[in-house]
Amino acid sequence: MTIAVGSTYSGENLPEKEGPVFEFTKTQQNLILKLNGISEQEIASFQKAESVELALFFASDVLFLLVRVAGVIDWSDAPYSVVTFSPELWPDKKALELPLTMIFVEGSNKRVMAVRQVRLESGFREALYGQIEIQKRSPIGADKFLRQISTVQKKNTPAKMLKQAIATVSA
């Protein structure tokens, strides 16, 4: 899938409302941030170096990629599990070398407003992959994944998840 500013985002995994989505497979590592009514100032903030902070939180077989973009969105969580992809697409060790492609999408029309790629620090990548390996060893069903997301989010705000994060990085 080619992702270019001004194009319509054609991916399937956008949230119903606003927020982030994390997609990590053998061939891609995307963080999609969907917001409504994106301003020029928010686009500029999204593109700035060091404007993005990420953290990893793991609970009840679900990995939560926490994201904060200064001037755009406060801490928000993107739940992730390998079970959302077929096993042949599950990330392997080589996939850790993929850059994280961050895609800023206007919610009203799915237009790509900004794209940037960042290389995550090795410690963060290793922590991410460690949690993915746990998911691969005992995959849960898609229905259980959705239930677990709801359960964890009821008990933990993104701020609380951040305090218990297993890894953090500025990108």
For residue 117, tell me if it sits in a domain.
yes
**Given this model, what pLDDT does residue 13 score?**
80
**Given this model, what pLDDT does residue 11 score?**
81
CB 16 within 8 A of CB 88: no
Q: Could you report the per-residue pLDDT of 55-74, keeping only the tens digit for each?
A: 999 999 999 999 999 999 99
List, in sequence order, every residue forming a beta bridge with 73; answer none if it has no partner.
69
Share of the chain above pLDDT 70, in %: 99
**Residue 61 sits in which domain range?**
19-170
For residue 7, tell me if it sits in a domain.
no
**Given this model, what pLDDT does residue 130 score?**
95
For residue 5, tell me if it sits in a domain.
no
**Given this model, what pLDDT does residue 1 score?**
62
Counted domains in the chain: 1
Q: Could you report the per-residue pLDDT of 75-121, keeping only the tens digit for each?
A: 999 999 999 999 999 999 999 899 999 999 999 999 999 999 999 99
The length of the chain is: 171
For residue 9, tell me if it sits in a domain.
no
pTM: 0.93
Cα dihedral sign, 72-75-81-84? negative
